[in-house]
Structure 1
């Protein structure tokens, strides 16, 4: 079986660099999709409370028979559970649905700055980690200004920031913050969610042709070569297998640079919500 490279987080725990995401996988399909991904070889599963499919993820994990210590499971705290003690209730509900004693990584989902509860949520995640319910903790969709606030308020740097990241939107300010502070970057929407013609771009096509792979495989390899943690989503076994078959080649420095250059630098490539606007 293919061995997926791991990255050591600031918590000391290792995370597989390639995982399987279940965003927008309907609850009724989640068990089958995750079961298939585990058969293909994925051992890192990324879900969230708001996805509504934690129970399906948990059922697939239980059915797989794979030892718990061979799996890496992430879930996320939704925005309406950030205030007060609600995060403690939320993680216990997620663990019950997943059928697990702990998650490997627990994230706050969005900063929702107008509510101004993200700092409280981060403090509660620290408590959740210290209670053994999550081995590592991090955030999602946080900008440098939010990250600065968290560190100022608690002295704790998130293990990861899971952000929208694909060739047209590379969020270099967040990447620079992470590099300077020992925080790793996870890419959501790594293939642009099909919302722009990424696979027709000459830089992507050239890299794919040079290595005899698909454009999607070339872009996933770009994420890996850049050091990002990435989890493409698909409910089709053939596509899952293709997305997993990205360890037999590496992009050249020139190919990486050509894909790097696809970011306009002004945020115009964003295909999801803006962290300052989702509240």
Structure 2
């Protein structure tokens, strides 16, 4: 596990990316520690801000030579609106790399990357690593509309096997990523699936991948108030290697999990058979 650093990062690049924003941050010492699937926690508004909680974003790219990391985000609330107003030359306080990254295969594999919206951000560096290690990749990228897709051009630069879906049919196949996914898994004889996106999508992708005997690793999009495992707001029920279900912290134990171990139906609840459920109920 890479030890995180807290640094004042200078914004050295920013640009619109469809419905999203892309920021390039010079963060000395951090980029060399980043693996695909890590995230960064960004302080919003400065030391006098009433926004006390950091915002967590998947790291899109890391360039150790330039000492930069990149994030892609959507304006979804007060914090991200504030972040979108920053300009080149401004600075933000960041902590990274955080979380548990995607597990990398020990040998060449056929992998399928599945993502919804800007959930694709960490997938391209992962795909490049797999290809560099002798494996092959395919992408299934989906979004509600064409404008909300992210990284189709980046995927196409890595492989010809790219399938796009949109809910409204404005680009690619009409429908969800799970529509063409079975055909893609069969066509490329997939060994493993990596997925990032909304919880419902991750559950559905896990079911499809499991039915095709492919391993599946999911990066969950849980709200992370602290990002370092203290506040316990991002817990998920996950089955351990010993078969016992426990609440685990998405920010520390995840955000990347074996999809078959996550109890998707029980997210947001306290299952009766979870370890410690009786004690939780007593409070």
Is the structural similarity TM-score above 0.5? no
Higher strand share: 2
TM bucket, shorter chain: 0.3 to 0.5
Indicate the structure whose relative CO is greater, using CA pairs within 8 Å and at least 6 residues apart.
Answer: 1
User: What TM-score do you get using the length of structure 2 for normalisation?
Assistant: 0.33
Higher helix share: 1
User: What TM-score do you get using the length of structure 1 for normalisation?
Assistant: 0.33
